[in-house]
Amino acid sequence: MARIRTTVDGLVYEDDVEPRMLLVQYLRERLGKTGTVIGCDTSNCGACTVHLDGLSVKSCSVLAVQANGSEVLTVEGLERDGQLHPVQQAFHDNHALQCGYCTPGMIMQSIDLLGDNPDPTEREVREGIEGNLCRCTGYQNIVRAVQDAAQKMKPGAHAAPQAPQSVAGGGA
Amino acid sequence: MIPASFDYVRPTTVGEAVQALSDGGDDAKLLAGGQSFIPVLRLRMGDPSLVVDLGGIAELRGVREEGDAIVVGAMTTHHDVTRDELLGRHVALIAEATRTVADPQVRHRGTLGGALAHADPAGDLAAPTLALDAELVVVGPSGERRVPASEFFEDYFTTAIGPTEILTAIRFPKYTGWGARYEKFNRVAQAWSIVAVAATVKVDGGKITDARIGLTNMAGTPVRARGVESALVGQSMSEETVRAAAQAAAEGTSPTSDADAGSDYREHLARVLTGRAVLAAAG
């Protein structure tokens, strides 16, 4: 067992984890953050994308112990005071989902992309989300939503991480 | 799937990491960015008793200039390589190839040293490392040694790194002012190269004065297209010259046949992509 201390969606958690525990398992099974989903067993699909210290990662390819001391932002930490994040709102407005399974990862990766490139071309959006697969092949509206969000949130796109609040005893 | 159990240590110096690796015996493995290794663990293709995480060793990260060389710490991420100003100016080929690796999420975590030590023949960074005549710095219990890229890649997934050694840095000579292009052929949803060509050329007054070309996935190791290099040097730059020289690209290769491509098709790709890569690099 290893002791880890991690800030997730603005709250600090401390837990003992087995070194083999994947970050996505920790988020889902210990913290109950099931908004982050597991879509594949090959690191291909990007459905489990979260931000680790401000950069998008596939949480199935990071060990929970590697997140010790780090800040994690999941799709569940985007909403502010009942207001959806502009990228979430744009996905809603543009009907950028069919089955919706890829949506959490698509949204997290799109926010990462817009933080880097606030006004991407269609091609840049497609390249920016190349690590995220939509098995329904509904890319058209996803790309449209990302460009719509870009227009509505100029300038600067990274969701400001919340200041850490009280220490919560993990989900264990 | 979930990996099998293992012990985990996160040393903060190279010396501690070498010690942990030696103490751990045959079943100890190094974790760099984890973008190949963690999937290997999850698919239970590997079952180490001890994982030594190199992520806590600050000295293994970053890019610096040392005289005639640009030195990249082995734990420098792909993301950082693509944005590094020194590499962009002096070693454009490695930055260019790194932009094509996997996807943004993987580039945020994956590292240059991890990719080279993994030595997947379809990986994109070995061919430019070979073409650029890089040196690989390896540290073990008896100290440091430098391995030329031409001796580093031994076979599929096999390098000259010993069982108790760690790749700590990659030293690139400067190619300031050279043009560079990594031309890659892959399935869209899979960023692994079916074949790719790493080319960097120096053009002076309309003549090609020097050229370095490496091939990805044309054998178990990266291959240098020396026949093309010598056919190009001294020639006037023209599409015809380049296409003619590129005909030698598949010489000395031994490409595999698999679900993506037969070996004869890979040879064809090597010739076509070499022509494109050199023309783009020179243009």
**CATH of residue A7:** 3.10.20.30
By the CB < 8 Å criterion, does A131 face chain B? yes
Question: What's the half-sphere exposure (Cβ side, CA atoms, 13 Å) at B5?
Answer: 4
Is the ipTM higher than 0.90? The answer is yes
Residues A17 and A61 in one domain: yes
Q: Where does a domain end: A29, A54, A77?
A: A77
Decide if B105 and A22 are in contact by the 8 Å CB cutoff: no
A residues 109..128 contacting B (CB < 8 A)? 109, 112-113, 128
Type of residue found at B212: R
pLDDT band (50, 70, 90) for residue A6: very high
Pairing, β B195-204 against β B179-185 = antiparallel
Domain presence at residue A48:
yes
Instruction: Name the closest residue on chain A to residue B101, using Cα atoms.
Output: A131
Domain presence at residue A97:
yes
- Residue A119: domain span: 86-152
Between chain A and chain B, the number of residue pairs with CB atoms below 8 A apart is 80
Q: How far is CA A57 from CA A48, A117, B37, B98, B123, in A?
A: 8, 17, 15, 17, 20
Cα distance from B82 to chain A (closest Cα, Å)?
A: 13
Residues B67 and B49 in one domain: no
pLDDT in tens, A75-100: 999 999 999 999 999 999 999 999 99
Residue B234 token pair: 């001294």
Number of structural domains found in chain B: 3
Domain presence at residue A139:
yes
Residues A60 and A91 in one domain: no
pLDDT confidence of residue B83: 98
Query: How large is the angle between the packed helices A103-116 and A139-152, nearest 10 degrees?
Result: 40
- Comparing CB atoms, the residue among A65, A131, A133 nearest residue B105 is A131
Decide if A46 and B103 are in contact by the 8 Å CB cutoff: yes
pLDDT along chain B (283 residues), means of 10: 94 98 95 97 94 98 98 98 98 98 97 98 98 98 98 98 98 98 88 95 97 98 98 96 98 95 98 98 92
Rounded CA separation B123/B94 (Å):
13
B114 vs A contacts (CB less than 8 Å): none
Domain presence at residue A112:
yes
Q: For residue A135, is pLDDT > 80?
A: yes
pLDDT confidence of residue B190: 72
Mean model confidence pLDDT for chain A = 91
Residues A71 and A34 in one domain: yes
Q: Tell me the residue ranges of DSSP E strands in B151-235.
A: 153-155, 158-159, 166-173, 179-185, 195-204, 207-216, 223-224
Domain presence at residue B133:
yes
B75 vs A contacts (CB less than 8 Å): none
| Helix (H) or strand (E) segment spanning residue A103 | helix A103-116
**If you ran DSSP here, which 8-state letter would residue B264 be given?**
H
- Residue B42: domain span: 7-56
Q: Where does a domain end: B117, B140, B172?
A: B172
- For B65, phi then psi, to 5°, come to -100, 130
pLDDT confidence of residue B36: 96
- Comparing CB atoms, the residue among A44, A61, A132 nearest residue B38 is A61
By the CB < 8 Å criterion, does B233 face chain A? no
Instruction: Name the closest residue on chain A to residue B10, using Cα atoms.
Output: A66
- Comparing CB atoms, the residue among A42, A63, A130 nearest residue B39 is A42
Tell me if the bond preceding B163 is cis, omega within 30° of 0.
Answer: no
